Amino acid sequence: MNRRLRLLIGALVTLISGEVLCEALPRMTSQAAYKQISRTGELRRMQIDGDLDVAKMRAPTGVKRIVLREVHLEGKLFSSGGGPSVELQIVDQSRVRDIDLRNSHWKTALLIENSVVRDRAWFDGAQFDAAFTLHASVFNGQTIFRNTRFAAPVEITSSQFEPAAPVTSSVSFADARFAAPARFDRSSFKTGVRFDTTRFDADASFIGVAAPVRASWRNVIFGGDAEFRFCRLGDADFGDAEQMSVFMHLADFRGCKMTSLRLDYADIRGDMLLVNAQIAPGDLSLVQASLRGANNDFRGLHVGGRLDLQGAQIANLQLQWNEIRPALLRSSPGSDVLRPLQSRLEELKKDDEAREVSAVLAHRLNSERLAQADMPMDDKATLWFERVVWGSATGYGTRLGRIVGVALTCWLLLALPIALARQLRLGTLRSMPEKCPPLHQALTSDTLDIERGSPLTRAAHSLAYTFALMFTLPDFHLRPVEPVPGRWHAYLLLIRGIGVCLLALIALTLAKVSPIIQAVLGKIVG
Amino acid sequence: MMRIVTASLHSLAALTLLAPVLLLAQPTSSSPDEARFREIYQRQYNAVKGVASDMVVMELRDRIELVASRGSQVGAASNDRRVRGFESALLQGLQAAHCQGATATAARPSPAVIEKVNSAATAQRLRTESADVAEVSALAQRLLDSQPRERWCALKSLDDIR
């Protein structure tokens, strides 16, 4: 087949298919639609110019459902009384301008699938006794379920609620009641969604739900499991002191991505799973929340803003300190938050992490005490000393590397004046006496060999002598040669004192960080 | 003499009460807050131009619901009751202002509408911010403009607006 022929066939196919797509549907009136439904129970590929009253839809005997298939309703679907006599299905690329089922009472099921509702989808105050399903449908106007009662399972899945401008109102399920399981899986709510004061008597599933702006579940009771796995939410709000939410069973946020998450005062009685949840750039707030489940798992949690656990009671917490540390510290946690965390990490035998928390806790306690206005000056001075010497130098006994580094730096700095001083000479003991004189004590030149070595040798001697002086090396052979000026004598004593302090700090830190030394100390003490 | 004094006192009281509203209506005195208020108001007012009135009612209800959900006073009524209460108070206030012989002002934003929005919010103890008042006032104004005076004055509820 040559290229031109192929192009011609392609163009013809395009034209024909376009014709089919644009082909106007046969039109009928509302009355004709009622008649057709009463004959066959189905409308297929029709455009209805007018409103349709579901209360007037009567299916023929034996037919279990009324189906509107690829129907374009240019008016509104409404109810002058109850719903239709049998289940109503609106499917297969049907288009409805408006749905106004406010305050209607349906005893039969309603299904809208693969269809579009253009302007209004109002279900306020309606009652659905049978299943209610919206699947893979698009809602381009206002959608409202305020105060709606659902007695049977609800599935609002894979549907898109994308109001076109100028509509900016969010989809409201405020005050709705779900007596049976409700699923909102993979639906998206472009302008936000609100479930405030809603009651879910059974399981509620929001798996993969998307609401990039705002999603609100304030003052909600989740009677069954609440599953939010892999959700994509903007600011997710589950209430505060005045409008708190209750989760009677599982609260599963695994793999969720949210801009922020507020669970203040939430009462979560089942497991709370935040594994691999990402909350950024906002905060995760669990102020005064009560997490009472057997497994409250925060592992893999990433919070870009602050993690606020003030007053939160969290039982059986699973966490990785390094993962939550930055976000938690951004919220300046008090000792009431840090102490239980430390205890929990100790319980979990995560000793390194518990030690890290203990350092933060010690620092916080120090700050809290320093902040007390009525603290006497001498106590304040003690606290500052503790903060600088114990806190900064050793990380409150948790940073062995840091204190060793500090000690080595001190050694080098303190050795420098000895290396440069002309008045202070060092000599080697000719013979090691039975009782060695103290390291800082100067000796006469007849007991010492005084070398006139190179500057390098002098520097090496200075370093070796300072090290020995600081860390009290036994049987060391270098000593100062008399006469030693008074101020140098004081300097040598100072080095000795600093050395003792550093040794004590290293020993204390080692005792805290080394399990072996802890065990040995335990045996000695116990 | 006593009558003159009483009348003067009444005028003074009325002026004191109306002063904030009158100040808000003055286009010349524009603080940054006021400019922002006007901007939000105008944007909302223009945005719903051409939108069906019943949908504007739903937009208004959504805004009030949002304000109510932001936090209630402990022990206050439920959100739904407060939203309905607000709508009822607003409708009554606007009917009182527009249906008892007074001529509607052409100023936008209308001080009278803003005042009614504020008083309805206060009655329901709603924590409104300036932006909320601007948006709700714009929506209320649009509703007011969409209905003939007689129809507006006969309304029992905002749900009756078609």
Would you place residue B12 in the very low, low, confident or very high pLDDT band (cuts 50, 70, 90)?
very low
The pLDDT of residue A387 is 86
Kindly tell me if the per-residue pLDDT of B133 is higher than 60.
yes
- Say whether A175 and B78 touch across the interface (CB within 8 A): yes
Confidence of residue A457 (pLDDT cuts 50, 70, 90): confident
CB-CB contact of A74 with A50 (8 Å): yes
What is the distance in angstroms between the Cα of A233 and the nearest Cα belonging to chain B?
17
Q: What is the pLDDT of residue A242?
A: 83
Cα separation, A41 vs A132, in Å, equals: 19
Mean pLDDT over the full length of chain A: 89
Residue environment code for A30-61, b if the CB has 16+ CB neighbours within 10 A, otherwise e: beebbebbeeebbbeebebeebbbbebbbbee
* pLDDT recorded at residue B72: 56
Reported as a pLDDT band with limits 50, 70 and 90, residue B98 is: confident
Give the 3-state DSSP-derived string for A188-219, with helices as H, strands as E and coil as C. EECCCEECCCCEECCCEECCCCEEEEEEECCC
Identity of the residue in B59, B69, B74 whose CB atom sits nearest the CB atom of A169: B59
Least confident of A229-243, A339-353, A392-406, A431-445: A431-445
Q: Is the pLDDT of residue B8 over 90?
A: no
Burial class (CB in 10 A: 0-12, 13-18, 19+), A502: buried
pLDDT of A223 reads: 96
Percent of chain B with pLDDT over 90: 37
The predicted structure's pLDDT at residue A21: 47
B62 touches chain A (CB under 8 A): yes
> Which three-class secondary structure string do you get for A66-122?
EEEEEEEEEEEEECCCECCCCEEEEECCCEEEEEECCCCEECCCEEEECCEEEEEEE
Q: Kindly report, residue by residue over A28-39, the tens digit of the pLDDT.
A: 999 999 999 999
User: What are the extents of the domains in chain B?
Assistant: 26-69+79-160
8 Å CB contact of A142 and B58: yes
Q: Is the pLDDT of residue A98 over 80?
A: yes
Which pLDDT band holds residue B19 (cuts at 50, 70, 90)?
very low
Could you give the CA distance from residue A153 to residue A132 in angstroms, rounded to a whole number?
7
- Is the pLDDT score of B142 beyond 80? yes
Cβ <8 Å between B79 and A197:
yes
Residues of chain B found within 8 Å of residue A194, distances taken between Cβ atoms? 65-66, 69
Confidence grade of residue B27 (pLDDT, cut at 50, 70, 90): very low
Tens digits of residue pLDDT in A268-301: 999 999 999 999 999 999 999 999 999 999 999 9
* pLDDT for res B25: 44
Comparison of pLDDT for A477 and A126, the residue scoring more? A126
Percentage of chain A surpassing pLDDT 70? 95
Instruction: Find the residue in A nearest to B61 (Cα).
Output: A169
Contact: B71, A243; criterion CB under 8 Å: yes
Mean pLDDT on B7-18: 47
Q: What is the pLDDT of residue A171?
A: 94
User: Quick one: pLDDT at residue A8?
Assistant: 60
More confident residue, A86 or B12: A86
Q: How confident is the model at residue B76 (pLDDT cuts 50, 70, 90)?
A: low
